[in-house]
């Protein structure tokens, strides 16, 4: 069964600290992996999109990694800001049915 | 990019009634989708809205319950019919301005928060 699992479920960090969010998937065949940021009461916004040949992709203070062999991805946030408080959703595109499969998200809270 | 607006942004409805949610995009898009996001859960695809023809529904979703229209390349509606408290959720419109690549960005609207009493 195609699944995307994220950990931790929630995380609290202090402003200025770094953090790493994890994503494991069992989607096959794999097409690409996306990270989205969803602020409370808003729709998800795309941060990165990576194909199987890409190991790392950055978007400002956000850096995503992908290991297609172990089917794992991570999202690293550097020097966190209060505005980083949001849910971060890992999404994998199924290369067979061409559908997006969503993880449940990691809820990040950045405290001053 | 694509700017998506949804109306209403939220509503509280009585069971047994129906609500129509509108999705307007600021530019023509190839694909439009409707998702549901229940509290604390991931997004679930309801259907793909097809211009000028019937929507394509995912397993577990039917046209009688979630009729969808897409009259043109920038607008779609989703109706939640004969509502029950289990329909309380956030409903999101999503679009792709396809260039034919599987890495095309998928954009999401702000969502409509529905509460059914």
* Dist CA B98 CA A15 (whole Å): 38
Closest CA to A11 of A83, A64, A88: A88
Give the pLDDT of residue B35: 97
Question: Token pair of A97, please?
Answer: 């049915």
Give the pLDDT of residue B60: 94
CB distance from B109 to chain A under 8 Å?
Answer: yes
CB distance from B56 to chain A under 8 Å?
Answer: no
List CB contacts of A5: < 8 A, sequence separation 6 or more. A23, A24, A25, A103, A104
| Inter-chain touch A51–B40, beta carbons under 8 Å | no
Q: Is B87 helix (H, G, I), strand (E, B) or coil?
A: helix
Give the pLDDT of residue A2: 82
What mean pLDDT value characterizes chain A? 94
| Inter-chain touch A104–B110, beta carbons under 8 Å | no
**Range list of H helices, B1-117:** none
**pLDDT 10s digits, A43-93:** 999 999 999 889 999 999 999 999 999 999 999 999 999 999 999 999 999
| Inter-chain touch A49–B105, beta carbons under 8 Å | yes
**Percent of chain B scored above 90 by pLDDT?**
79
CB distance from B106 to chain A under 8 Å?
Answer: yes
**pLDDT 10s digits, B18-37:** 999 999 999 999 899 999 99
């Amino acid at each position: 069964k195609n699944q995307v699992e994220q950990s931790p479920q929630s995380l609290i960090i202090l402003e200025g600290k770094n953090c790493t969010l994890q994503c494991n998937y069992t989607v096959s065949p794999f097409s690409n992996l996306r990270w989205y940021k969803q602020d409370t009461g808003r729709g998800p916004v795309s941060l990165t999109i990576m194909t199987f040949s890409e190991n790392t992709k950055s978007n400002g203070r956000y850096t995503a990694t992908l290991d297609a062999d172990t089917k794992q991805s991570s999202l690293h946030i550097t020097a966190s800001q209060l505005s980083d408080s949001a849910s971060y959703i890992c999404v994998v595109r199924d290369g067979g049915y061409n559908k997006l499969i969503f993880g449940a998200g990691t809820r990040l809270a950045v405290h001053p | 990019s694509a700017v998506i607006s949804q109306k209403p942004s939220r509503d509280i409805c009585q069971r047994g009634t129906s609500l129509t949610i509108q999705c307007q995009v600021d530019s023509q898009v190839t694909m439009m989708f409707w998702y549901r996001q229940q509290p604390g859960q991931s997004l679930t695809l309801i259907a793909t809205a097809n211009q000028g023809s019937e929507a394509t529904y995912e397993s577990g979703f039917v046209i009688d319950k979630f009729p969808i229209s897409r009259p043109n390349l920038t607008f779609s509606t989703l109706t939640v019919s004969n509502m029950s408290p289990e329909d309380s959720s956030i409903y999101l419109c999503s679009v792709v301005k396809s260039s034919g690549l599987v890495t095309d960005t998928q954009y999401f609207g702000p969502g409509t928060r529905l509460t059914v009493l």
